Chains A and B, each alone.
Chain A
Amino acid sequence: MKAFTVHRGRVAPLDRVNVDTDQIIPKQFLKRIEKTGFGKFLFYDWRFVGDGQPNPDFVLNDPRYEGATILVAGKNFGCGSSREHAVWALGDYGFRAVISSSFADIFANNSTKNGFLTVHLTEEEVAELLRRAQDVDNYQITVDLEKCQVHDGQGFSATFSVNDFVRHCLLNGLDDIGLTLQHEEAVAAYEAHHPVPAALQSK
């Protein structure tokens, strides 16, 4: 997994609440059997009009936000389906982190497995970042996972909390399957007391 330590980049403001994973990556693009190539379908129905032309009203089509790597959005980001394709699409498009006041559990969990950071700030802090990203040209911020801090060098600074273990894995780019396999003996011991039920063993 790609490590996340400190990242500075341009901010794109997506001023909507409850952005669901169906919007992040619509279902017609879930049939691919790879993890790559989803970026061009990110926010497809919002980004493109019916005939496939870019929708000029959508924030990511605004030249001011070209090359943005940090997305700021309203509460309950990533609700709905468990599709990890949503995280793959955000990452493949070029985003490294999403900032919101709350995230759906499965989306947040999927993010940590892909070196993608979900940053929880307060509603007021998110509102302030949205405002600055709309008002200031080439608005950039630094997301620092080592210090658990977000700042823009222009007066905005906020701290966020993240689970210690998740932070450790992200900072070091650790693969958690490998970590669980370190407990192979404990798994085997558990299985010795919990054998596979007979009905499941039969073909």
Chain B
Amino acid sequence: MGTARTLFEKIWDAHLVATPAGRSPIFYVDLHLVHEVTSPQAFDGLRAAGRKVRQPARTVATVDHNVPTEPRGTPITDLIAARQIAALQANCKEFGVRLFDMDAPEQGIVHVIGPELGLTQPGMTIVCGDSHTSTHGAFGALAFGIGTSEVEHVLATQCLAQQKPKTMQIDIRGQLAEGVTAKDLALGIIGHIGTDGATGHVIEYAGPAVRALSMESRMTLCNMSIEAGARAGMVAPDETTLAYVKGRRFAPIGSDWEKSVERWHSLPTDPAATFDKVVQIDAAQLCPFVTWGTNPGMVAPVTGRVPEVRGLKENDRRAAELALQYMALEPGRRIEDIKIDRVFIGSCTNSRIEDLRAAARVAKGHRVSSKVRAMVVPGSQTVKRAAEQEGLDRIFLDAGFEWREPGCSMCLGMNPDILQPGERCASTSNRNFEGRQGRGGRTHLVSPMMAAAAAIAGHFTDIRNWKFQ
């Protein structure tokens, strides 16, 4: 191992358990996060084979996808959802897995609670049956989503057998301007490289613009890696990372902390290491973005227009035409002229305290348009309590936003929070796929500030011109 290595390669090498000839390498999983939707069949598989959870202590579960965002005492009226939640409760009990249940003070979106509880740490391998597991890469961990068969594999063996991915560096020079957030950076990158631009690769985000991001912004950036097709996204740990992790409930303490910090300091990519692919982005060229189509690569600057499709390659042109038809938009329409019916501020992309502060700063002293229904769904009970302590809930409620209980909510509409057919939504979530937020619903992805501003204006508006009160 004398050669220069990337952050990813160091973590990969450190977790190899076996490299059997002619087979996929077997590597160890430090932390396995579990939720109600992708786990019941995996636990059934264990039972059928008479297997146990190998490391219950390295397995942490919560409920997020299905949970209603009404006040917690309200019974779940969706009986199938209730059955899935009950299955997770029973499975965690049977197999001895820690569960942050519906009424727990730690409950929340799995990718929000992992970091805030200090479960997520640099250098770790982290998996979860959810594609947005890439979020945890913000800490310099190797974190990625898996399917249910692999959930079962990890439960049974605490390992995974996978081919080694390729590496990609996204080097972001310069600094983001005021009003341009990590969400805009992510959308700008996906718009540039495409929704399959990083397929087969683990992205490492680097450069001065990334160093300047807070941990929560790095989480937003890494979260969206999967939308570029990446296996995972990562940011090398630094002082910002250590300051965030220190003192959290599951973070190392005392001499363990000192030893961990020493190890974490050795993680960043060696200067001489090379990547399979390198992409450069100039942060200063980025602006607040709004998606106009049905995948996160279909983006336009808020000051721009829905693009012309005529010049595109045939496959892309047809995809764009289908997207415009679904979105009921036409080329040339000014983005700021697009009126909206709904606003969703939440999801594992943008539901943390900094996101809510940014949105509240925009909302303060304003009123949500009479034509718009807007909801704020904090990412976790911890975020919700912190926001209420700061009075953010009052700002939102006074402005006419709904203030709800934590969960995945309208990001994917598995619970009752969905769009009606034809409704148009400014959403801080991560996917604008057809029907994602409800059949026939039209989703435009934006940052929390842009979503709050759209709620008030009733249409998209450039946050850089906002009158803050």
Contact = CB atoms under 8 A, between A and B. Distances in A.
B17 A106 contact: no
A27 B262 CA distance: 43
B20 A198 contact: no
A87 B147 contact: yes
Contacts of B30: 194
Contact of B436 (A22, A30, A187, A203): A22
Interface in A129-178: 163-166, 168, 176-177
B414 A177 contact: no
B434 A22 contact: yes
A61 B195 CA distance: 29
A113 interface: yes
Contacts of A76: 195-196, 199, 229
Interface in A168-198: 168, 176-177, 179-181, 183, 186-187, 190-191, 194, 196-198
Interface string A72-114: 0011100111111101000000000000001011100110011
B258 interface: no
Contacts of A114: 149
Interface in A46-63: 50
Contacts of B276: none
Contact of B251 (A196, A199, A203): A199
Contacts of B234: none
A34 to B, nearest CB: 7
Interface residues of B, number: 80
Interface in B332-380: none
Interface in B415-458: 421, 431, 433-436, 439-440
A105 B17 contact: no
A163 B163 contact: yes
Contacts of A104: 196, 199, 229
Given A79-B195, A84-B148, A17 B319 contact: yes
A181 B156 contact: yes
Interface residues of A, number: 60
B130 A82 contact: yes
Contacts of B439: 26, 45, 50
A179 B153 CA distance: 10
B157 A187 contact: yes
Contacts of B256: 197-198
A26 B229 CA distance: 20
A45 B435 contact: yes
B157 A180 contact: yes
A40 interface: no
A82 B251 contact: no
B329 interface: no
A41 B384 CA distance: 36
Given A76-B199, A181-B156, A82 B147 contact: yes
A127 B130 CA distance: 32
A2 interface: no
B150 A109 contact: yes
Contacts of A123: 315
B24 interface: yes
B161 interface: yes
B57 interface: yes
Interface stretch (B77-85, B177-185, B205-213): B77-85
A176 B131 contact: no
B41 interface: yes
A113 B150 contact: yes
A129 to B, nearest CB: 14
Contacts of B413: 27-28
Contacts of A31: 37, 66, 78, 80-81, 83-84, 414
Nearest to A194: B28
A122 interface: no
A5 interface: no
Given A76-B199, A168-B22, A186-B17, A23 B152 contact: no
A30 B249 contact: no
Given A27-B413, A31-B414, A34-B41, A18 B199 contact: no
Nearest to A22: B433
Interface in B122-163: 129-131, 145-150, 152-153, 156-159, 161-163
A177 B147 contact: no
A200 B295 contact: no
A196 B57 contact: yes
Nearest to A185: B18
B267 to A, nearest CB: 16
A196 B58 contact: yes
A7 interface: no
A177 B412 CA distance: 31
Contacts of A201: 57
A166 B157 CA distance: 19
Contacts of A22: 412, 431, 433-436
Contact of B153 (A16, A17, A177): A177
A125 interface: no
Contacts of A166: 24
Given A79-B229, A165-B23, A181-B156, A33 B41 contact: yes
Interface centre among B83, B315, B322 (most CB of A within 10 A): B315
A69 to B, nearest CB: 21
B195 A18 contact: yes
A81 B413 CA distance: 13
A164 B440 CA distance: 42
Contacts of B440: 50
A191 B27 CA distance: 12
B145 A82 contact: yes
Contacts of A176: 153, 161
A187 B158 contact: yes
A199 B199 CA distance: 35
7 contacts: A20-B433, A28-B413, A33-B87, A81-B412, A84-B147, A123-B315, A199-B251
Closest 5 CB pairs of A and B: A113-B149, A84-B147, A110-B147, A33-B40, A82-B145
